[in-house]
């Protein structure tokens, strides 16, 4: 018998999720290969540059690229020893995003800058160290819209309350997440209204 999630998700969507998961797995393997071999990232510098900056011209990003190594190691250490796993906690099959999920996050009512976050330096300084992708001149992210931005935490920030607390974000607040139980009861996870009969599936 098919599980509820298999019944509820169309096959085309499952195929797309498989593609997203494959892309993330290949990227993770690529980063592990680059770190373990020490030279893998340098030998494939154009690819590394595209992943983080959407630009094959790696020589334009040598400074930020080199600084990514100790920065990544600090975050990885925090994940293992300080309970900061949420910084890399993105489901493999999750949809790539350039904005937060509106079902999970919303701007605070007292935020004075509208849709913009203003200077990215407001948040992107974990442990007092500025993210290497943070542009020093204008204070904006050099990797905005890149593969890493869309497929991992940056583009979907925030997705959990711990992120807001850790980065000291003053713009966003976490709202109620969609409930799988509501979907199983035949209700919209966003509004709570009954779903059309054609979309209801028994578990």
Q: Tens digits of per-residue pLDDT, 136-154?
A: 766 688 998 999 999 998 8
Residue 200 lies inside a defined structural domain of this protein: no
pLDDT over 80 (residue 114): no
Residue 193 lies inside a defined structural domain of this protein: no
Q: CA-to-CA distance for 53 and 128, rounded, in angstroms?
A: 23
The average pLDDT across 21-48 equals 92
Residue 17 lies inside a defined structural domain of this protein: yes
Label residue 56 by pLDDT band (50, 70, 90). very high
Residue 25 lies inside a defined structural domain of this protein: yes
CA-based angle 189:13:148, to the nearest 5?
90
Q: Which residue has the tokens 């195929």?
A: 15
Residue 100 lies inside a defined structural domain of this protein: yes
Residue 202 lies inside a defined structural domain of this protein: no
Number of domains forming the structure of the chain: 1
Q: Tens digits of per-residue pLDDT, 76-105?
A: 887 777 766 776 778 899 999 988 888 888
Q: Tens digits of per-residue pLDDT, 155-164?
A: 888 888 888 8
Expressed in angstroms, the distance from the first to the final Cα of the chain is 9
Residue 197 lies inside a defined structural domain of this protein: no
**Backbone phi, psi, residue 92, to 5°:** -55, -35
Residue 163 lies inside a defined structural domain of this protein: yes
What range does the domain containing 133 cover?
8-188
Given a contact cutoff of 8 angstroms between Cβ atoms, the answer to whether 149 and 155 are in contact is yes
């Amino acid at each position: 018998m098919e599980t509820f999630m298999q019944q509820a998700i169309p096959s085309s969507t499952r195929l797309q999720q498989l593609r997203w998961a494959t892309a993330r797995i290949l990227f993770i393997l690529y980063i592990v290969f680059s770190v373990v071999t020490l030279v893998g990232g340098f030998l494939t510098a154009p690819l590394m540059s595209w992943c983080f900056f959407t630009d094959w011209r790696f020589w334009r990003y040598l400074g930020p690229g080199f600084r990514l190594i100790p920065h990544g190691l600090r975050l990885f250490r925090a994940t293992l020893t300080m309970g900061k796993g949420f910084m890399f906690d993105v489901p493999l099959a999750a949809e790539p995003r350039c904005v937060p999920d509106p079902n999970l996050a919303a701007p605070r009512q007292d935020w004075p800058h509208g849709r913009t976050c203003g200077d990215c330096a407001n948040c992107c300084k974990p442990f007092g160290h500025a993210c290497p992708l943070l542009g020093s001149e204008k204070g904006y992210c050099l990797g905005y819209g890149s593969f890493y931005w869309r497929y991992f935490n940056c583009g979907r920030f925030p997705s959990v309350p711990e992120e807001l607390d850790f980065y000291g974000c003053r713009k966003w607040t976490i709202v109620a997440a969609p409930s799988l139980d509501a979907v199983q009861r035949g209700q919209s996870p966003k509004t709570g209204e009954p779903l059309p009969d054609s979309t209801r599936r028994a578990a």
